Structures are given as C-alpha cells and as structure tokens.
Amino acid sequence: MSRRELPQPTGLPIPISERFEFVSEKWLETARTFLQSKLDAFNGNPPSGRFAAVETYTDAPPHLDCPNNTATVHIVIENGQLDVGYGDVENPTFHAKGDYNRSLVIGASVYEALPERKERIQRELHHRHGNVLQVSGAGFADVNPDVLKLLAGLHDHLAKRTVGNPDIPHKLTHLDVEARIQEVEENGYTVFERAITESFVEELNEDFDRLIAENGRGKVAAMLLSRGPLWEEVATHPQIHAVAQQLLGADCNLGQSIAFRKPKGADTHQLHNDPPHPHTGELCCNVTTVWALSEFDEDSGPTIVVPGSHKENRPPDQDAKSQAVKLTMPKGSVAMWHGSLWHGAAIRERDGERTSLHNTYLRNWVRTWDNYLEIDPAILERNSPALTTLAGIDDLYGKNTYDGIDFRRMVT
C-alpha cells in the first residue's frame, strides 16, 4: 500500500531565524539590508536630498544593554548614502520618543496595507496609556517624494519580523498590569476595566453582525482568529496577551475565540471549571478572557465566579453557586480567570441581549478547541510573529510527517 501524503499545516510566513527583538542589532541590520537593496535598484542614480529619522525608546529591556536602558536608533538617507545604527543625529526630519514596551505595539503592527488598522492601533494605545509617543522635527512635507517611495514597505517589513519583549515581568511592569497577576493568583480572576474604547466595541459588534449573518445557525461566531483583522488585534491586545504569557508561558496558544449574543432568560453556563483537571496542582494551564461587548451589570446575565476556588483543583461543589459573585463591568472591559476557577454565567433578567467575546489562552502543549494549523497564510502575513505563535504554527506539535519531525519547516 502506498502511503498517502499527510495534510500540511500553514507554513511560517517568516522563519524563526529571521525574527528579531524591536530595535535590537539584528533588527537594525534587517532595516539596513532592506533599504540598501532599494537604493541599489537606482543603479547609481539615487534620489537627492536628506531624510533623517531618530527614534528613542526609554525603559528598554536590560538585556538589550542600552545606555541608561534607553535605545536610540537612527536612519539617515542622504544623496544615496545610507546610515542605520544606534545613537542620535543632528537635525532629524523627525524624532519620536516613547516608552519601549508601550510603543512596541506600533513597531509590531503590520498596517501599511491596512490604514484603518494604523488609526485603530494608535487610538487604542492612547486610550490605554495616554500620549505615549512625542514627535518633533520638520516632518515629511519637504522630503523628496522618491525618498519616501524608497522608505515604503520598511515599516511592515520590520513589523512582520518583530517579536515582543521576552522579559515578560519587565513588560508587565511597563504596561501597568503587574497587579493583574497577583489578583489571578490570589482570587483566581481579575478585571481590566475599559480595556478598549467604545469605538472599538462598536466596530467589533458591527463585524460580529456580519459573521452572524453568515452563520445562519444562531447568534454566535467562532474561530474568530481567522475571521478578520479586528479579531486578530483583540487576540494580541498588549496588556491581555502579556498577562496570559506570564501565566501560561510566552509561547501560549489561543485555544478558542468565540462570540455570543445571549437573550433574556437564557441559562448558558452552569458553574464549572475548564480542563485540564484534576491533578494539575497549582499549575495554570489555561486562562479565559471574556470581553464585555455590552454592559455587564447585575441584570444582564454577567459572568459569575467563586473567588479563590481555583486553589481547590476540582469541579465545583453542589452548593457552589451560593458562594458565587457577579463580575459586573462597563462595556469594553475584560474579565480574565484561571481555568481552574469555578465560573459560569447568571441568567439574563432584562430584555435585550448580552454580547460577549470569549478568548481562551492555553499552554502550548494543551489541546485547543479551535484549530488554526491550516489558517489562511494571508492572515499571518498581515501580523507580527505573535499571531503565528498564538495559532500554534511555530511549535512542532502535530506536525510530524511520515519521515519524522519536520524540523526544516521551522527554519525555511
């Protein structure tokens, strides 16, 4: 009997060997190589004039070994000569300065072909942290248009290769979410109030309407990581993702992404805890996030939890509901809990519907509900490596061939 070819998972859009930390030496070398190749294409007749960009990032990770933990990088193109490196330069065309971890979302967002994403990323960043980036200088108005064409594509070329700060505790500190870890460890849950803007909530609800119309089987939409750019951005929300990484490992996967509209009287989720259990001890194997895409108040049918029950490491007691509390929160907020926490949902007592998004993150060796191994390659192409990791594409699980483990796909 001849062997049949096994189905192949989606390949890596960017090999792991070509992924680099933001403003690291290899990141700068990648920028230099990209720009030099475009300059070489002018065949000795490069555009005239000068362009000089300087970016300064404070509180950079200590392992980058920057003076005073401040990374300053520059790109200068002057009459065909290219200079890319560390340090300041005189009379920059523009100079951007901001916190390293907070600014990273811009550096790692692929958006040149998605202008609405650029606006959304900047809007949400300002919502979380205020005015993160201060920009000075003359700007682009007087820059030779041929130089601007030369720069086109640089941002996305780098963003597709930019990995986040691997020092997760450092990242948590500068994203102002250290306390969330302690709350999950002590109580089993935490709430990020108003994690996203009301504008983003409305955009998600509008796209959710589109997906419901496509479904035809009720007011639910699933496999959302592969259903559109908005859901990709939610899954990689910097603060939520960072806390999940601390609890589950930096290489955690997105186990499930599903949204619901819950009507009055619906009893959708009895108290339970999520697998894997029992016998996992204190190890957190999964965390669930519920995004309030409508108001979660006492009568809306909000999530209910039994504080501290994640330490029991067993299914809920019969009378557990008497110990439960309702997680009320404004629209745009996110509740996150330890998978072993006893949790469920109250019955909605009011007319109308409760809208929520459930994103569950898992340790990368825990089996997922959603399967993104055959995800559309175009989705990975328009995101940083963070999304590839969430989809489970860049680990080796479930990717054996008849010839053994396909190590080659990880480096080509």
DSSP 340-403: TS-EEEPPP-SSSEEEEEEEEEE-TTSPPSS--TT--HHHHHTS-HHHHHHTTTTS-TT-EETT
Q: What are phi and psi of 349, to 5 degrees?
A: -105, 0
SS3 134: strand
With 0-12 CB in 10 A as exposed, 13-18 as middle and 19+ as buried, what is 343? buried
- Reported as type and span, the H/E element at residue 162 is strand 162-163
pLDDT score at 94: 93
CA distances from 20 to 58, 130, 230, 290 (A): 19, 27, 25, 31
SS3 41: coil
CA distances from 368 to 120, 163, 194, 398 (A): 29, 23, 28, 12
- CA nearest neighbour of 301 among 340, 339, 354: 354
Q: What are phi and psi of 182, to 5 degrees?
A: -60, -40
pLDDT score at 395: 85
Q: What are phi and psi of 216, to 5 degrees?
A: 75, 5
- CA nearest neighbour of 337 among 169, 175, 194, 187: 187
Q: Say if residues 5 and 11 touch (Cβ distance below 8 Å).
A: no
pLDDT score at 283: 87
Structure tokens at 156: 């996305």
Q: What is the mean pLDDT of each run of 10 residues along the chain (412 residues)?
A: 69 93 98 96 89 97 96 96 96 96 98 95 98 91 89 97 97 98 97 98 97 89 97 98 97 97 83 72 89 95 95 90 95 97 92 95 94 95 98 85 75 60
CA distances from 370 to 253, 362, 366 (A): 10, 11, 12
pLDDT score at 1: 42
SS3 267: coil
CB-based contacts of 290: which residues, under 8 Å, 6+ apart? Answer: 303, 327, 334, 335, 336, 356, 357, 358
Q: Say if residues 158 and 31 touch (Cβ distance below 8 Å).
A: yes
Greatest alpha-carbon span in the chain:
80
Cα dihedral across residues 168, 380, 357, 258: positive or negative: negative
Q: Name the E strands within 196-339.
A: 220-221, 253-263, 286-292, 303-305, 325-326, 334-338
pLDDT score at 405: 78
Q: Say if residues 168 and 245 touch (Cβ distance below 8 Å).
A: yes
* Number of Cβ atoms within 10 Å of the Cβ of 5: 7
pTM across the whole model = 0.94
pLDDT score at 7: 72
Query: In angstroms, rounded to a whole number, what is the distance separating the alpha carbons of residues 88 and 100?
Result: 16
